[in-house]
Amino acid sequence: MRDASSGGKGLGLAITKQLIELHGGSIDVSSEEGKGSTFTISLPLYQGDTRAADELAPAEARLLHEPEGRGLQAAGVSTASGDTDTAAPGADDAELLELSPPDTAPPAAAPRKTAVLPLKILAVDDEPVNFEILREFLSPDAYELTTARDGPAALALIAGKRFDVVLLDLVLPDMSGFDVCKKIREQYAPHELPVLIVTARDTAEDFIKAVRFGANDYIAKPFTRAELVLRIRTHVELSKMNNAYRRFIPERFLELLGKESVIDVVPGDQIQRVMSILFCDIRAFAAFSEDMEPREVFAFLNSYYEKISPIIREYGGFIDKYIGDEIMALFPDDPEDALKCALRMKKTVDTYNTFRSKVGYTPVSIGIGLHTGPMMLGTIGDEKRIEGTVISDAVNTASRLEGLTKLYGGSIIISASIFFTLKDPSLYRYRFLGLVQVKGKRETLSVYEIFDESPEGDLKQEQKDEFERGLQAYFKKDFKEASRIFKSILEANVTDKAARLYYNRAEEYKYKVLPDDWDGVETVFYT
């Protein structure tokens, strides 16, 4: 076994002999003490059918073809490394790969109708000759090979480019392969970027250490071309499957259940935890979409979700489910994360509407409700079909709050459970909207409108104190004064639906005899 700082161990001659014999040739040597050695190489010259060489790359591409369209075809080999790999390999270069005879190429297949992209491979090795051998193993039709001579160069490449697989040697200058693998795992999980250790160090101790540092596989030199191709293909397929599963069961969901993989999930897995719930709905979606063809509806929804779904993940949440034009998301950590997410979603939709208006499309209007409470997070179903879900009154409450955005005319409405966890409420533009009670529930909720991203935000902020005085008069049953205040607010801002709601109620209650226990709490009937 070679240390990175030492010379080779004389393997070059043995490897040269093997390469020559694979081509049907021979090598002879004559030596004279004190003078040196003379090597004579004989190679046959063929003039026959050359189809095998021409068909080798397409055969490999066919072997690795992936029906889903994940790319393997048509690309060249690129080289980017922390150190140039143009140095000529010496006769004593060690830790070389064993070159195996090329497999017999099958008959050429019919041309593909859909071109696929090559797998992006990063090879990390301090021996340039190993890169050349990898190029012999991995045809440019199926792979795009990038190389790095040391750990820092490899990590820099990974930070700037997405790879499908990393082939990593253990013996490197500056950083060991173990340390490089550990650094990669700080950025990518094993299912996101498979790391295959490729080394001459064939010991159980090194294998165990590599796995502990996050390696997906361990390939000991020498190995055959078929083995390398199969290992790469297997881990790419596993990575794709894992990533596909996580599109249906979010990774954060698995983490909360204490599961490392979706295969560990069984019906009935559950935990109890306090979390924040976000409901976001497109207003008047039925009317909005009635003139669309079904394919146009799907195209619109996917375009819309592509813009707002990443924001949820950015703020530490995960999507529990899509319900047509409605999205439900959970935030396991700070409730303020949910509010920041809601504001960003509203701003993103406003930007989206600028584009839609320019091309003549109808603007999109959304309502968002936020609430925090205890819930059961788990799985339901049977052994053939399961899904993750949340069971809690808090979920129903958050949904009702989203419905209140239609009643009060606000884009974002939160409950006191969110408001009183804010570190500094003065950082936001808000106003108290009143007290509500969800039908069938005893709990009374204080609800607040957040209007940072509202077009009428400046007016609402100017009238905030006046609005609160109107509410005080309303809850004291001084409906004449409440009516006067809300009327003055509407004269300045006719679009304020909350002010109009309370003005209409005050006008109605002025002429009614209310019971002594009337407390101003309104029952919410939204489902």
3-state secondary structure labels for all residues of 112-159 = CCCCCCCEEEEEECCCHHHHHHHHHHCCCCCEEEEEECCHHHHHHHHH
Side chain identity at residue 175, one-letter code: M
Rg (Cα) of the chain, in Å, rounded?
A: 33
Residue 54: pLDDT above 70? no
Greater model confidence, 29 or 501: 501
Tokens of 14: 């043995």
Contact criterion met (CB below 8 Å) for 285 and 275: no
Round to whole Å and give the CA distance between 23 and 373.
72
List pLDDT tens digits, range 205-220.
Answer: 999 999 999 999 999 9
Model pTM score = 0.63
What are the structural domains, with CATH classification, of the chain? 119-247 (3.40.50.2300), 255-422 (3.30.70.1230)
The total of other beta-carbon atoms located within 10 Å of residue 476's CB is 11
Buried b / exposed e over 296-306, threshold 16 CB at 10 Å, is ebeebbeebee
Tokens of 302: 């996917």
Round to whole Å and give the CA distance between 285 and 451.
22
Handedness of CA 133, 135, 139, 145 (dihedral sign): positive
Side chain identity at residue 73, one-letter code: Q
Residue 73: pLDDT above 60? no
What is the per-residue pLDDT for 144? Answer: 92
Round to whole Å and give the CA distance between 365 and 410.
11
Residue 40's DSSP bridge partners are 28
Contact criterion met (CB below 8 Å) for 265 and 379: yes
Residue 477 backbone zone (phi > 0: left; psi -120 to 50: alpha; other: beta): left
List pLDDT tens digits, range 454-485.
Answer: 888 889 999 999 999 999 999 999 999 999 99
Q: Using alpha carbons, list the distances in angstroms from residue 489 to 289, 392, 438, 503.
A: 34, 38, 28, 10
Round to whole Å and give the CA distance between 462 and 150.
61
Residue 74 backbone zone (phi > 0: left; psi -120 to 50: alpha; other: beta): left
Average pLDDT over residues 127-156: 91
What is the per-residue pLDDT for 29? Answer: 79
Tokens of 119: 């797998």
Round to whole Å and give the CA distance between 267 and 380.
5
